[in-house]
Amino acid sequence: MTMPSFLTGAPRYLFLTGKGGVGKTSVAGAAAIALARQGRSVLLVSTDPASNVGQVFGLRVGNTITAVPAVPGLSALEINADEAGAAYRERIIGPVRGLLPPVEVDLIEEQLSGACTTEIASFNEFTGLLTGDETVAGFDHVVFDTAPTGHTIRLLQLPGSWTDFLNEGKGDASCLGPLAGLERQRAVYAEAVAALADPGSTRLVLVTRAQRGAVEEVERTRAELAALGMREQHVVVNAVMPAPAGADELAAAVYAREQEVLRDLPPALRALPTDVLVLKGENMVGLAALGSLFEAGPGEEIGQDPAVGAVAVPGLPEGVEDLGALVDELATQGHGLVMLMGKGGVGKTTVAAAIAVALAERGLPVHLTTTDPAAHLSETLAGSVENLEVSRIDPEVATRAYRETVLRSKGAGLDEAGRAALEEDLRSPCTEEIAVFQAFSRVVHEARRRFVVIDTAPTGHTLLLLDATGSYHRDIVRQMGEKTSFITPMMRLQDPDLTKVVVVTLPEPTPVMEAEQLQDDLRRAGIEPWAWVVNNSLAAAAIIDPLLRRRARNEQAEIATVIARDSSRCAVIPLLAREPVGVPELQALTATPVPAT
């Protein structure tokens, strides 16, 4: 295995971050293997709510350190948000269970069920790893496969946020447990901040693809994390198309598009040490595949493969629809909520914009919005359409508006001391969770009179938002009683006549597996996905390039799995020569029929 520059002189902590879907887990896994094969003791840690480290290595990895038998010296750990949250709640509730009435214990559990508690619980485990507790004492390197960018930035900002919160006073920490517990964490948080900013201890590896959206995202990440003190940074551009050997128009277009992106990297990114990893013919699952990731060229994958076929890949499996057919079916309803959900980087924003544009062109009123902290709706749309309103649920804006509303209402009759206490209470980081949930609920309410298309955040964030929705629902049920008539946001999400959840994925094993996990989580919440969309499919495109044909052949099994096991409706969108940015390109996504099988 060739060692990339970001592993040269690697410090103890390596953070791999970037937009969802760029291959962080693959690069992190390959890096951990490379270090272990040099005789180092390595711990690979995932802080992603939608972690798939275990799937990549073909073994079960959980919330305890697990050795990777095939690679001496390598172990893996997944910080499981649900398990961390449950353990955190039990540490708080356990001592009072049996001492307080069951009703009060249930109320405490409900207060501790929100996303804020889950995030803090996960963060406590994360800081323990950063501050050298006994868990990591025997490891030379700790490689962090972080969550999609928005979640990662939030995670890395928390040390400062909670230190400030503790320094400035004791607000309402009801969702965190006794404040004394946080006070005890003060020194640990401060040590975590110092470790993150120490170039001798921590190196940030910005993983991207040679795509404008991914590069713009990673440039924002670079600047924001540099402002947090993480200035020891490297860049990895993953899965870059090699120069095509033949006359494949799509391969040539993808190659030219990616080379242009590489030439036009932002100056601050261009100044950083950079590794370019070549696109492989196989999916990066298993030790053999990961062991080839850092090789200089694509190797034998680009050779002629008779099993693929002489000109193009076989047709798509039976049962595939085009995106336009899904829109036609949606349009008959006249109004409703359409939620695009899935792993970061699969194209939810593009698909959401295409559906919204197509519905608006049919003369239907549409509100297109996003809950994604790293949203790019305006860049994707790049124009306006009659009947279409575009917005964003911005956490900062929503939080500011919520604070102002509370101060105007609850603060109106308070004296100076009372108002000061209320203002301090509203500075709690938990306030953002409440504010975003309220903004989300207002948007859901609109779906009774027009179409609301929501481009959701990457999977982990979306599930936390649904968790807040479920907590609110249970609280209302408890207060109102089961016999009282009421409708909560969760009830609207569970109504199949009103809400259509569309799961977006890529035709690759890991994205499909994670989409299936998301579907299972939704079903446990009483929400049945309506359709799947498989995006950027080579199998749906006319190609002759040997490398792309090999990748297309691998896609067919994944698409067949989706149709047979996961959804009665499955639309496939081919990989395009031009990125679908702008209204005309988005219109084309719902106007192009699926190739015949």
Our answer to whether residue 561 is catalytic in this structure is: no
Our answer to whether residue 246 is catalytic in this structure is: no
Beta-bridge partner residues of 75: 43, 67
Q: Among 13, 566, 150, 546, which Cα is nearest to 319's?
A: 566
- DSSP code of 597? -
Annotated catalytic residue within 18, 19, 25, 118 = 25
- Secondary structure (DSSP) of 295-344: SSS-GGGGS--GGG-SSSPPPPPTT-B-HHHHHHHHHTT-SEEEEEE-ST
Assess contact for 435 and 402: CB atoms under 8 A.
yes
Our answer to whether residue 48 is catalytic in this structure is: yes
Our answer to whether residue 510 is catalytic in this structure is: yes
Residue 169 φ/ψ, nearest 5 degrees: 140, 180
Assess contact for 92 and 46: CB atoms under 8 A.
no
Q: 3-class secondary structure for 541-591?
A: CCCCCHHHHHHHHHHHHHHHHHHHHHCCCEEEEECCCCCCCCHHHHHHHCC
Helix (H) or strand (E) holding 534: strand 531-537
- Secondary structure (DSSP) of 269-299: HHTS-EEEEE--SS-S-SHHHHHHTTSSS-G
**Nearest-angstrom CA–CA distance, 411 and 405:** 9
Our answer to whether residue 399 is catalytic in this structure is: no
Assess contact for 312 and 542: CB atoms under 8 A.
yes
Annotated catalytic residue within 17, 26, 146, 380 = 26
**Nearest-angstrom CA–CA distance, 431 and 434:** 5
Assess contact for 397 and 373: CB atoms under 8 A.
no
**3-state secondary structure (DSSP) of residue 75:** strand
Q: In what order do the strands lie in the sheet with 74-78?
A: 66-67, 74-78, 42-46, 141-145, 13-17, 202-209, 233-240, 274-278
Annotated catalytic residue within 47, 163, 488, 510 = 510
Please name the residue that has the structure tokens 């791999």. 16
**Nearest-angstrom CA–CA distance, 312 and 302:** 15
Distances (CA, A) of 257 to 212, 264, 376, 589: 9, 11, 19, 19
Please tell me the number of Cα atoms within 13 Å of 68 on its side-chain side: 27
Annotated catalytic residue within 23, 177, 213, 347 = 23
Assess contact for 503 and 523: CB atoms under 8 A.
no
Assess contact for 540 and 574: CB atoms under 8 A.
yes
Annotated catalytic residue within 17, 18, 20, 21 = 21
Annotated catalytic residue within 48, 322, 455, 467 = 48
Our answer to whether residue 332 is catalytic in this structure is: no
**Nearest-angstrom CA–CA distance, 153 and 368:** 25
Neighbours of 21 (CB within 10 A): 23
Joined together, the tokens standing for residue 93 give 């509730």
Our answer to whether residue 371 is catalytic in this structure is: no
Q: What is the chain's length? A: 597
* Helices 149-168 and 115-130, packing angle to 10 deg: 90
Residues classed as catalytic: 21, 23-26, 48, 510
